Amino acid sequence: MILAICAGVLCALIAPAAAGSGIPEVKAYLNGVDAHSILAPSTLLVKIFGSVFGVAAGFVVGKEGPMVHTGACIANLLGQGGSRKYHLTWKWLRFFKNDRDRRDLITCGAAAGVAVAFRAPVGGVLFALEEAASWWRSALLWRTFFTTAVVAMVLRSLIQFCKSGKCGLFGQGGLIMFNVNSANPSYNTADLLAIMLIGVLGGILGSLYNYLVDKVLRTYSIINERGPAFKILLVIVVSLLTSCCAYGLPWFAACTPCPTDLDVQCPTIGRSGNYKNFQCAEGHYNGLASLFLNTNDDAIRNLFSSTNKNEFHISALFIFFAAVYFLGVITYGIAIPSGLFIPVILAGASYGRLLGRLLGSFASLDVGLFGLLGAASFLGGTMRMTVSLCVILLELTNDLLMLPLMMLVLLISKTVADSFNKGVYDQIVKMKGLPYMEAHAEPYMRQLVASDVCSGPLISFSGVEKVGNILHALRMTRHNGFPVIDEPPFADAPELCGLVLRSHLLVLLNAKKFTKNRVLTRTEYLRMFHAFDFGKAGSGKGLKVEDLDINEEEMEMYVDLHPITNTSPYTVVETMSLAKAAVLFRELGLRHVCVVPKTPGRPPIVGILTRHDFMPEHVLGLYPDIHPHK
C-alpha cells in the first residue's frame, strides 16, 4: 500500500496527465489534438516512477501503455529542442520545430515503447501504424523500423550483459518473453470448433470489458474531480481490494501434490515462479497462489506453460479469471499509470486455459496454447487491432505454427466485439472529450454542405491592417487562423488573399515593425526574421497575447500582413458536401479549411472550418433532427 500511495501521490499532485494508459492520449496527439501537458516533462517523470511503483504495488496493471507514453514523451522532449526549464537544450533539434517532424518523432517514440515493452520490434512498428498513427507515409515506416531496430539491438546487448542474473527480473525470458515453442501445435477439426468458441466468447467478454471500463471511468471521474485527496483515497481502496484478493482467495484453493517428473523446484519458496507453497504442506503447492503471488509476467508464463497440463485446477483458474477481470476493470482509471495490455492478457490467458481444461476431452490442443489463444481473443475483443496484435503475440511466444489459429481467433473476436461497441482506446479518447478526427466521414455528413456547419462570426483582416484591430481580435477570440482579404486600393475588388496564423501574428506584432500609413512594406522587414522565428514552439512555450507590450500610439498604426500570409490555403466551395470536406480535412491533416462562395460577386470567403466543426457533437447539436446513422 505504501508503494501504491507513492504512485498515487505522484500522479495526483504532480502530473494528473500521467494517470492511465497514455495510449489514448498519444493516439489523440498524433491525430492532431495538441492538448496541454499530455507530453510534458513532468508527465514523463511521473509516468516512469509512477509506473514502477504501481506495478511493484501488485496492482493488476501493465507497464506497456506507460512505456508507449514514456517513449512518446521522450520523443516530444527531443522534438521541441529539449527542456529549457530543466536546462536540457540542443540547438540542432530546432529542425524538429514543425508539426510533421515532431509527429513523426513521437510516432517513433510510441513504436519504441511497444518494442521494448514486449521485446517485439516488428510488433512495435505495426502497433504504431495500426493503432497510434493517423497519417502514414513510407518514410515514417522506415523511421519507425529504424527506431525499433535500435531498440532490438540495445535490448539484446542488455540481455546479454544481464545473463549473469545481476539485473533482477530484467533478463527473464530473453528476447522472447513467453516462449511456448516447445508445444506441439497439431490440431484437428474439433480444435478448430473449440477455437471459434474461444473467439466468440472472447469477443463478447472483451466488449463487456470495454463497457465496464467505460462505466467505471465515468464513476471515477466524478470522485477524482473532488481533489487529490479523493484520488489517493481511491488508490488506497483499490490497493486494499487487490491485496485482499491476492492474499485471501488462495486460501479457498485446495493443495495439490507436486508432480514428480519436474525439472523445476516444487514448491518454490521465496522467489517469483511456479508452484507456490503458500499454506500447503511440504511437497504440495497451491495453484491459485502460483498465479496470484507472482509478478504478472510470471503468472502469464505459468498460464501459457504446457509442461504440466493439470497444473491448475479448473476452480483455481475460474477464481483467478473472475478476480483478474474484476480487478482489471476497477483498477484502470485510478490515479496511477496503468497499462491495459497485461490485465487483458492475464484475464484472457486464464479464460483460455480454463476453456481448454473444460473442453479437454473434446479438443486435443495443449492447454497452454488454449491460454495463448484466449489471450489473443481478449486482446482482439478489447483493443480491436489485428496485424499488430498478431505480430506482438508471435514475438512474445515465438510460435509461428500457431499463426493461422491466432489470426482466426483475432478476426472472430474483433468482429464479434465490433458489433457491440468501439475499441477501448477509442472509447477513452471519446470519454476524455478529445476532438479525435475519424479517418472516414460520418454517414449523416452527406446530408449537409460545408457552409451548414461554419460557426460564425467570421473575423477577417485586411491585407494591411490596423494593429489595434489585430490585437482586439487576438484578445477577443481564441481562433488560430484568420482570413486575410485584399481590398481596394490593393486589389480591384475584394479578394481572398489567404490565411494568417495566430502564432505568426504574435511574432509579427512582437517585432513592432509598424507604419503610420496604410502602405505595403513587404520586403523591408522580412530580413528582420529568420525562418525559425516562425517555427512551432514547444507546447505551452509560444508567445501569448499577454506577452505583447503595445502602446496606444502603436495601436493606431498599420502592419502589412502579406509576408506572413499563406496565400494559397486549401479551400472548398460552400456547396460541397460536408463529408467530402471532411475527407479533405482529414486526409491532408489540415487545421483550417476556407469555405468560399459558389457564385461570384459576394464576399470572397464564407467561413472557416476547423476540427471542432466536424465533431459529431457540434454537427448534431446544430441539426438535432438528422439521423446520425443514415
Instruction: Please report, as ranges, the residues that interact with a copy of itself according to CB under 8 A.
Output: 121-122, 125-126, 129-130, 136-139, 141-142, 145-146, 148-149, 152-153, 155-156, 174-176, 181, 386-387, 390-391, 394-395, 398, 400-401, 403-404, 407-408, 411, 414, 439-440, 491-495, 567-568, 570-573, 575-577, 580, 583-584, 587-588, 598-601, 604
Q: How far is the CB of 453 from a copy of itself (least distance, A)?
A: 15
CA 318/CA 354 separation, integer angstroms: 7
Contact 584, 560 (CB under 8 A): no
Residue 143 or 357 with smaller CB distance to a copy of itself: 143
Residue 307 or 386 with smaller CB distance to a copy of itself: 386
Q: How far is the CB of 150 from a copy of itself (least distance, A)?
A: 9
Q: How far is the CB of 335 from a copy of itself (least distance, A)?
A: 32
Contact 561, 464 (CB under 8 A): yes
Q: How far is the CB of 537 from a copy of itself (least distance, A)?
A: 24
Q: How far is the CB of 152 from a copy of itself (least distance, A)?
A: 4
Q: How far is the CB of 130 from a copy of itself (least distance, A)?
A: 6
Q: How far is the CB of 165 from a copy of itself (least distance, A)?
A: 17
Contact 487, 518 (CB under 8 A): no
- SS3 of 162-173: the string is HHHCCCCCCCCC
Q: How far is the CB of 447 from a copy of itself (least distance, A)?
A: 14
Q: How far is the CB of 619 from a copy of itself (least distance, A)?
A: 18
CA 451/CA 454 separation, integer angstroms: 5
Residue 510 or 566 with smaller CB distance to a copy of itself: 566
Contact 341, 124 (CB under 8 A): no
Q: How far is the CB of 470 from a copy of itself (least distance, A)?
A: 24
Give 7's contacts (C-beta < 8 A, 6+ positions apart).
49, 50, 51, 53, 54, 57, 235, 335, 336, 337
Q: How far is the CB of 188 from a copy of itself (least distance, A)?
A: 9
CA 607/CA 605 separation, integer angstroms: 6
Residue 135 or 247 with smaller CB distance to a copy of itself: 135
CA 604/CA 601 separation, integer angstroms: 8
Residue 295 or 571 with smaller CB distance to a copy of itself: 571
Residue 320 or 461 with smaller CB distance to a copy of itself: 461
Which of 342, 327, 65, 319 is CA-nearest to residue 178? 342
Residue 319 or 619 with smaller CB distance to a copy of itself: 619
CA 566/CA 227 separation, integer angstroms: 45
Residue 136 or 251 with smaller CB distance to a copy of itself: 136
Q: How far is the CB of 516 from a copy of itself (least distance, A)?
A: 29
Residue carrying C-alpha cell 449537409: 448
The three cell numbers of residue 298 are 510470471
Residue 134 or 296 with smaller CB distance to a copy of itself: 134
Give 78's contacts (C-beta < 8 A, 6+ positions apart).
90, 93, 96, 105
Give 199's contacts (C-beta < 8 A, 6+ positions apart).
377, 380, 408, 409, 410, 411, 412, 413, 416
Residue 316 or 372 with smaller CB distance to a copy of itself: 372
List, in sequence order, every beta strand (DSSP E) within 232-338: 255-257, 284-286
Give 100's contacts (C-beta < 8 A, 6+ positions apart).
none
Q: Which sign, positive or negative, has the C-alpha torsion 93, 98, 104, 110?
A: positive
Residue 511 or 588 with smaller CB distance to a copy of itself: 588
| Type and span of the H or E element at 593 | strand 593-596
Measured CA to CA in angstroms, residue 413 lies from 205, 373, 406, 427 at distances of 9, 11, 11, 18
CA 510/CA 548 separation, integer angstroms: 6
DSSP assignment, residue 500?
E
Residue 387 or 555 with smaller CB distance to a copy of itself: 387
DSSP bridge partners of 83: 88
Q: How far is the CB of 398 from a copy of itself (least distance, A)?
A: 5
Q: Which sign, positive or negative, has the C-alpha torsion 382, 388, 392, 393?
A: positive
Strands 571-573 and 593-596 turn out to be: parallel
Which of 593, 605, 598 is CA-nearest to residue 495? 605
Q: How far is the CB of 288 from a copy of itself (least distance, A)?
A: 32
DSSP bridge partners of 285: 256
Q: How far is the CB of 520 from a copy of itself (least distance, A)?
A: 17
Residue 308 or 565 with smaller CB distance to a copy of itself: 565
Q: How far is the CB of 158 from a copy of itself (least distance, A)?
A: 12
Residue 4 or 200 with smaller CB distance to a copy of itself: 200
Residue 179 or 243 with smaller CB distance to a copy of itself: 179
Burial (0-12, 13-18, 19+ Cβ within 10 Å), 215: exposed
Long-range contacts of 403-409 (CB under 8 A, 24+ apart): 405/185, 405/187, 405/195, 405/369, 405/373, 406/372, 406/373, 406/376, 408/192, 408/195, 408/196, 408/199, 409/195, 409/198, 409/199, 409/202, 409/373, 409/376, 409/377, 409/380
Residue 93 or 175 with smaller CB distance to a copy of itself: 175
Which of 364, 463, 392, 16 is CA-nearest to residue 176? 392
